[in-house]
Structure 1
């Protein structure tokens, strides 16, 4: 089964670039443009990794992260926060709420792909 990534960002250029990068890396990619759409997408089919922006309409990334972590059925979902909020306090907040990783914008495309790969479960393991 193909490993999947859910890209959650409200910035069209970032969504396009991340979607392209993740597909190039061989992942199944879905996109959500706000926090509510992100939670609906996870409910429909939990991805392996969520690339999650912090500043979005409807529900911010911190709220989405907390909601995912509050559901035991989604324990296997890895969350990488991807945001312009680069201050240490914001990073600590994201990690404290359950994010597995935190990347600040602007980001290196290679770094994002490498970090996503590092959070994927090996193929064939449950």
Structure 2
């Protein structure tokens, strides 16, 4: 089966990147992961993902720096995921280029719906029948860890 789209996950927590990879692959996405923010910037340019999932708090560069760097050369949609729910922080990361923000833990169905929304918004030409592929409702709405 042809992947729906390519997703890049940038998070310093290996458990999160592994979980995201497994989850997104079950929905038919091709998934690239990295636990190093600077490597994520490089992959954003080279791998040309359809959406980037980005953690805010990472040791080498924070999510704001990553957003700014990616926006210098790319308009790929960036979905920020963070356990911190501070309206000022949300506004500031959206101001530097993120397209959306979700607070961890995110139910998997909500995460996938937001990814699909960003893909639709960004491409318009994506095969919509692929986007309608779903897994059982109960499985798709299990919360992701924070």
Task: Using the TM superposition, give the Cα deviation of residue 98 of structure 1 relative to its aligned residue in structure 2, in angstroms.
Answer: 0.9
What is the TM-score with the length of structure 2 in the denominator?
0.78
Question: What's 1:21 paired with?
Answer: 23
User: Radius of gyration: which is bigger?
Assistant: 2
Pair 1:116 & 2:118 matched: no
Q: How many residues align?
A: 121
Question: What's 1:41 paired with?
Answer: 43
- Equivalent position SS for 1:57: coil
User: Aligned-residue CA RMSD in angstroms?
Assistant: 1.4
Question: What's 1:9 paired with?
Answer: 11
Could you give the per-residue CA deviations for residues 47-68 of structure 1, whole angstroms, max 9, x where no partner exists? 1100000001211111000111
- Equivalent position SS for 2:21: helix
Could you give the per-residue CA deviations for residues 56-88 of structure 1, whole angstroms, max 9, x where no partner exists? 1211111000111112xx12x000001112110
Gaps of 5+ in 2: 128-146
Structure 2: distance between partners of 1:114 and 1:43: 24
4+ aligned runs moved over 3 Å, structure 1: none
Gaps of 5+ in 1: none
CA contact (8 A) 2:37 2:58 kept: yes
